[in-house]
Amino acid sequence: MSKLNIKGIVKRCDDYGKLVNRYCGPVFVGFATSLITLIAITYFTIIFPATSDFSNLFFIFNFFCDLSISLFLTYGIYFNYIKAIITKPGYPNLNSTLINNINSNINNSNNNKDKDKILIIDNVKWSYCKKCSKAKPPRCHHCSVCDKCVLKMDHHCPWIGGCVGFYNYRYFFLFLSYLWVSVCYVLAHSLPLLFGGYLYSKKYTEIDRLLVIISSIGSFITFVAVGSFGGFHAYLIGSGQTSIENLYPPKKRPNYSLTSIKDNFQIVLGKGDYWFSGLLPINYTPIGNGCDFKLNISNEDNNKNNENNENNENNEIDNHNNNNNNNNNNNNNEKEDNINENDNLISYDTDEYNRHKK
């Protein structure tokens, strides 16, 4: 029997996965939209009316506040989701003449090291993408599904049918945020209905109860999944990272973090007149062009100093061990010399004894 080609099987599965992501993106988007719409319709037609009370002015006021918050969250979900889908993540775009000159120089060069550093623009190193055969700026990566280089690429998301990058990252993160808060709101209203027995009155049909149960289960799954995923992205934004950069070893990870967590969030969400301006579901163009990112030099220097200190400590340990080994060798040599001298003395004494005996 022939041996299984593990690498070939893994590569084939990876290729199939890329094809599924590339051509089944609309299916994932349609499923997500349908689930969100089902939960929204169930909430506004069954759950919300069942939890409303008009017995006095306070409850009436609470009803309108509740309704306003629900409508605002729903608008925030759909607005940010649509914008995350239709907004291109951004692609590197140099002057076409400049790109052709660079690519021709690279193709004519036989040295692979020339491809590692091909262009410096405003003291920023642009690297070379072998798959696109084009120059690409820092934090730009080639997406194997989209088959394009994406500016400040975070990841390819099948739920939006494309990549999350420089220009649509804000909408993607706000979509997760609004969705998580909304499912919390749905669970807060639906759980009392499920465990309080209100749905089992004659006022509600079997279909109503089934829709509430499905919406509650879907909301709980979304609460866990989106909560953990959104929390991870909140950490990435606060530390100035992307999902790809987070995969690097800490010592090799480029540090693009600004002076504070607030500044890191503002560079992604935007800075307005109020602290909540970056959270509003509005059109927004990120700061910068997606090509120029400044490294946090102080932290980079600290990392280098730490590495140098570690190297110095290791060198000191090695030198100490070498000195000990040399001392041990010297001691062994001295012992051997003493043994040889003793042997000579013994042989000399034996000869003298034999002479006297004669």
> Catalytic residue numbers?
157
CA dist., res. 6 & res. 8, Å (int): 5
Q: What are phi and psi of 185, to 5 degrees?
A: -65, -40
Burial class (CB in 10 A: 0-12, 13-18, 19+), 180: buried
Q: Name the nearest CA neighbour of 256 among 236, 272, 271, 275.
A: 236
Tokens representing residue 142 in the block? 């080639």
CA distances from 135 to 85, 104, 211, 291 (A): 26, 12, 52, 11
Contact in structure between 255 and 296 (CB atoms under 8 Å): yes
CA dist., res. 163 & res. 183, Å (int): 25
The one-letter amino acid code at 160 reads I
DSSP for 259-280, written as a single string: SSHHHHHHHHH---SSTTGGGS
CA dist., res. 257 & res. 110, Å (int): 37
Contact in structure between 128 and 106 (CB atoms under 8 Å): yes
Q: Which residues of 138-173 are buried (b: 16+ CB within 10 A; e: fewer)?
A: bbbbbbebbebbbbbbbebbbbbbbbbbbbbbbbbb
Contact in structure between 135 and 146 (CB atoms under 8 Å): no
Q: What is the DSSP letter of 162?
A: E
Tokens 């992307």 locate to: 242
Tokens representing residue 55 in the block? 């017995």
| Three-state secondary structure call for residue 45 | helix
Q: Report the first-to-last Cα separation within the chain, whole angstroms.
A: 87
